[in-house]
Amino acid sequence: MQYIQPTERAARLESDKPSEQRAFRRYQPLSADALAARLLQFGLKPADVTRSALRLQSAQVAHIQTHLMNEPQVNRALVQQYSSAIEKLVQRHDLDAFTEAFNDLAVIWIDLYAEGVSITSVDTLLSAISVPQWFSNSKTQALKHCLSHCLIESAARYDHTALEFARRHHQHSHLPNGRLLMEQLQQLLIFSQSEAGLLLISFKLSSTMLDGHRHRMPEVAVEIIKRLQQSLPKDHTLFHLDAYEFAVLSPQLDHSVKLDLLSAKLRRPFEFTVNANHQMFSVSPVIGGVCRDATHKKAEDMLSQARLALEHADSTYQSFATYSEALSQHADANAQLRQDVLEAFENDRMALYLQPIVDTHSGECMGAEALLRCRKANGEFIPPPVVIEVLYQQGLGNMFIRWLINTSCRLASTIKQKTQQPIFLSINLTADDLINRELPYLLAQALKLWDVEASIFTLEITENGLLVDEDTAVEIMHEFTSMGCRMALDDFGTGYSSMSRLRNLPIDLVKIDQSFVRNVAHSAQDRAIVQGIITMAHGLGKKVVAEGVEDADCLAIIQSLQCEKIQGYYFSRPLPFEQFLAWIEEGKASVPEVAIVNQQATA
């Protein structure tokens, strides 16, 4: 049987494996002196081995081959390599030849072990070696124990090296991971005076891919890595941090302009779709970068700055951003704002203000929209969208929606008791709420607890909120309507595919966005848009609310267009609950002059 040298064998068996993966499989060969020292540890002299005329038991070799073939993942070529190596081991003429033959056998053993052969098989693998009768039993056992010890020791080194490799490389791509990035970056900051740049790259995948092709995700990642590696200069290092997040450590980058040029080069290959198993997908890179400067002493600081740039690019819908001190200041301000929101939520400094919704022709208050108000410790208001975003990002979305529903039901119960009027309340739901299957149950519980009817509640959604999971959102909307709630489509005209969605959704009410209503008396285009929305909604059997009515001219036009309800500063700003009750009792909706005075007082 032709024997193949270890280097050639490795090339044949591992040519399809990443070089990083092969690295920890390479066996560190023993020198003749090192093997002689091992023999001495077991009471043997090198001369005992070279003069003992080792033999091979053919029947036992066949038995070992059968044993290895039964291992399901063992490469058959490895089994043949083993047979050749064990034959060469008994044909040595001196210690150097014996050492070379043993090293060849050990290389094959490492690959067998890596493919699943148990470490307990070592003795079996060496059992084909026999010695003449004049070689004592004690020395025979000592020789086999010595060789077994060396092979087991090599397996232990393999395990240690493989573990260290796994700690520093991505599980699937075998690229260096975040741990190795931090180590190399820290070494660069300590031992090198050269400039360097760090890029963080996050890939956004098309929504159709996320919905129906999750099984092809690894293949897309492979294609992403391939394109990145083809675009990188040779002295740059690519790191795989997360499923679709990567980093590039770039030497000799001394200016943000060079960082921008490198970013553009990395983005260019993704102007085209990615092909995975003959299916085309769209992936979009978002990149944040930072250049090393004299202030960088810790790898964590440089990485944090690159991440700030990445987050800024993502939040501002840019493809690339470079770190600057302004970004850091902005991040600090946002961190303080998040802290203010969490403290306000914990200390019950949140309330619902009510903005009246008025019948266009009678001037009577038909309902009110519940609007969130949140105060800092110093009394300043925090913008409601910021409050909602922070609470949901911090995992407090469920607690907030419970608070919102229970507070709304409590206010509705009080309005019912004190006014004896059928005033409805509108509650705004987020995209996360629309896929919360527990929400209808929570609302039913709150309605029962506060003894209010579901029919007095209108649940407002936005079209963009449907994009997360439209099928689930529509199911939950139907659950709400079956309970007796009404559904309203808020900010109509600003979302995605308004016309087609309005026809198919269980919507009772359309709210025209104030950006179209506010200037309707001065803009023929806005008036045409509002008129078109009202006509279309009425044709589909929906009622309409015009938001942003702020003056008498606007009100007159909205009345002439047959819009049923209005909402805006012309009648009232959002009011604290007690002021809203007083506003109702004083009948300010039907007396605009008094409403204007109240508006100025509460501005």
Neighbour count for residue 250 (Cβ, 10 Å):
21
> What is the DSSP-derived secondary structure letter of residue 432?
T
- How many C-beta atoms lie closer than 10 Å to residue 520's C-beta? 26
**3-state percent helix, strand, coil for the chain, nearest multiple of 5:** 55, 15, 25
What is the predicted pLDDT for the residue at 13?
36
- The DSSP string of 53-79 is --EE-HHHHHHHHHHHHTSTT--HHHH
What residues in the chain have per-residue pLDDT under 70? 1-26, 51-53, 92-93, 132-135, 206-217, 254, 276-278, 294, 467-468, 493-501, 588-603
Dist CA 190 CA 174 (whole Å): 26
CATH architecture, range 178-323: 2-Layer Sandwich (3.30)
According to the model, what pLDDT value does residue 23 have? Answer: 46
pLDDT of 12: 38
d(CA 469, CA 87) in angstroms, rounded, equals: 65
71 neighbors 115 (Cβ within 8 angstroms): yes
**CB of 318 closer than 8 Å to CB of 348:** no
Helix (H) / strand (E) element for 249: namely: strand 245-251
Q: How far apart are CA 127 and CA 140, in angstroms?
A: 11
| Separation in Å, CA 493 to CA 8, 105, 262, 507 | 68, 74, 40, 15
Instruction: Assign 567 to helix, strand or coil.
Output: strand
Per-domain boundaries in the chain: 6-168, 178-323, 508-571
From the CB of residue 78, how many other CB atoms can be counted at a distance below 10 Å?
A: 20
Displacement of CA 429 from its chain's centroid (Å): 24
- Using DSSP's 3-state secondary structure scheme, residue 541 falls into coil
DSSP 318-357: -SEEE--HHHHHHHHHHHHHHHHHHHHHHTT-EEEEEEEE
CA 37 to chain centre: 54
DSSP annotation of 169 reads B
- Residues 544, 534 contacting (CB under 8 angstroms): yes
- Cβ neighbours for 199, distance < 8 A, ≥ 6 positions apart: 247, 248, 250, 259, 262, 263, 266, 287, 288, 289, 306
Between CA 365 and CA 358 the distance in angstroms is 4
pLDDT of residue 161: 86
* Phi and psi, residue 300, nearest 5°: -60, -40
CA dist 83 and 61 (Å) reads 7
CB-side neighbour CA atoms (13 Å) of 39: 21
- How wide is the angle at C-alpha 561 spanned by C-alphas 497 and 462, nearest 5°? 30
Q: What tokens does 522 get?
A: 């001065």
Specify the pLDDT at position 558. Answer: 92
Structure-block tokens of residue 519: 């200037």
Query: From the CB of residue 231, how many other CB atoms can be counted at a distance below 10 Å?
Result: 17
Residue 240, beta-bridge partner list = 246
Residues 6 or more apart whose CB falls under 8 angstroms from that of 376 comprise: 340, 343, 344, 349, 382
DSSP-derived pairing of the beta strands 543-547 and 381-382: unpaired
- Report the candidate in 445, 469, 448, 473 with the shortest Cα–Cα distance to residue 459: 473
Q: Do the beta carbons of residue 309 and residue 224 sit within 8 Å?
A: no
How far apart, in Å, are the Cα atoms of 286 and each of 212, 270, 307, 310, 320?
23, 11, 11, 7, 6
State the Cα–Cα distance between residues 451 and 482, nearest whole angstrom.
18
**What is the distance in angstroms between the CA of the first residue and the CA of the last residue of the chain?**
96
- pLDDT tens sequence across 284-338: 899 999 988 767 778 898 999 999 999 999 988 899 999 988 888 888 888 888 9
Quote the strand ranges of 380-502, DSSP E.
381-382, 424-428, 457-462, 486-492
- Integer CA distances (angstroms), 215 to 209, 212, 218, 277, in order: 10, 8, 7, 11
